[in-house]
Amino acid sequence: MRAVKTGLACLAMLSACFALAANPVQAEGRTKSQIELFLQDQDAVLKRGSFVDISVKTQDVPGLFGIQFELVYDPDLLELPGKNSVEISESFQAWVIKNDPETGIIQIAATRKSLPEDAEENLPLAKFRFRTLTSGNAEVSLQEIKAVDAVPREIQLSSAEEPVVEISIKDPAANAGKGRRDGGS
């Protein structure tokens, strides 16, 4: 019971930090802070039943302390196969990890374990391991992104477009029988 109360208190505090973050932080003289999705060491086309790893990283985010985002995926084409399918960076404490497999929305809220001293290039936030369910073209995107520094002030995170990863999934049965034209053994 005490753990539940502590967890609710921490969640309330994190929500308050995001709600109170009224003054956006702009890093002058630097490139804009970014948040990005990366497809990790995978082919552009995957087979049904294979696994694909997707990472969320930030770049040049001065003083990042807390972050909240939704990772949106197509639940008809992709699934999170188990509890270990979501990894949060060791630098962060995850307060909310909520997956709704019917809508394909994963909600993440996390804070840094210690206060950052400066911006870090390519700071990993989370890694997601999906299993492909059927053939088709799937998209994974980041939405509802909010970040705060330790003051707390809102940090403006940008990207060229909405961060999206596209995945092509082929049915291995569709290739069966191709390549043999003589019909023999």
pLDDT in tens, 129-160: 999 998 888 888 888 888 887 776 666 665 54
According to the per-residue pLDDT averaged within each range, which of 137-146, 160-169, 173-182 is highest? Answer: 137-146
Cα-Cα end-to-end distance for the chain: 67
What values do phi and psi take at 172, rounded to 5? Answer: -60, -25
Residue 76 domain flag: yes
Residue 146 domain flag: yes
Residue located via tokens 């970040």? 147
pLDDT in tens, 28-63: 333 456 777 777 655 667 788 889 888 888 876 777
Residue 179 has pLDDT above 90, yes or no: no
Residue 58 domain flag: yes
Q: How many residues does the chain have?
A: 185
Contact 147, 14 (CB under 8 A): no
Residue 183 domain flag: no
Please count the structural domains in the chain: 1
* DSSP state letters, 149-170: ESS--BB--B-SSS-EEEEEEE
Residue 158 domain flag: yes
Residue 48 domain flag: yes
Residue 128 has pLDDT above 70, yes or no: yes
Q: What is the pLDDT of residue 169?
A: 61
Q: CATH number of the domain that 92 lies in? A: 2.60.40.680
Residue 181 domain flag: no
Residue 185 domain flag: no
Structural domain harbouring 109 = 2-173
pTM: 0.67
Nearest Cα neighbor of 31 from 163, 157, 165, 161 is 157
